[in-house]
């Protein structure tokens, strides 16, 4: 986890994204006091499924801290909707098919699988405030205990404010 004071550009905070319940909204419309944005490579893969389930199991704890949660991948809206339904996720998923958010948060990285190099989403999580300030960030995330770590850091962040 790295503390950063990056600023997400206003145009990205206002950029309409496609949500799994069929509507569009912007990050600025989704944020309570804070917004937890977690990026994952692909819906319905083991790591992404576990990470989403972990955030789901702690969702009410995040909400109690005025922190909304949203998951983002470059999967199609239909795939995201199926993923959300399959695991009964209480938060929205974003279908970032044009990778607008992925590029704004700099999570598209060169990856290597079975000797083949390709560009893909590096599992990452960010906590942003209403002004678009990135208060906390995690890159190259390992799924085990990640949601709990993020929740603990958000608790500390809210205690400080």
List the catalytic residues. 48
How far apart (Å, rounded) are the C-alpha atoms in residues 115 and 48?
22
DSSP 124-135: EEEEEETT-EEE
Edge-to-edge order in the sheet of strand 67-73: 2-7, 133-138, 124-129, 34-39, 67-73, 92-95
- Asked if 92 and 98 count as a contact pair (C-beta separation under 8 A), the reply is no
Q: What is the DSSP letter of 106?
A: T
Residue corresponding to tokens 């819906």:
43
Separation CA 158–CA 142 (nearest Å): 24
């Amino acid at each position: 986890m790295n503390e950063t004071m990056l600023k997400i550009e206003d145009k990205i905070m206002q950029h309409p994204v496609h949500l799994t319940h069929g509507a569009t909204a912007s990050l600025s419309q989704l944020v309570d006091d804070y917004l937890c944005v977690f990026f994952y490579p692909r819906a319905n893969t083991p790591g992404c499924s576990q990470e989403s389930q972990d955030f789901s199991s702690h969702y009410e704890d995040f909400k109690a801290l005025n922190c909304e949660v949203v998951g983002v991948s470059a999967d199609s809206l239909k795939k995201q909707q199926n993923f959300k339904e399959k695991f009964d996720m209480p938060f929205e998923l974003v279908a970032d098919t044009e990778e607008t958010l992925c590029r704004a948060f700099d999570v598209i990285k060169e990856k290597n699988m079975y000797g083949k190099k390709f560009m893909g989403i590096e599992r990452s999580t960010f906590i942003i405030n209403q002004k678009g300030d990135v208060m906390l960030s995690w890159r190259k995330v390992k799924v085990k205990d990640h949601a709990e770590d993020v929740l603990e850091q958000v608790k500390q962040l809210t205690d400080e404010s």
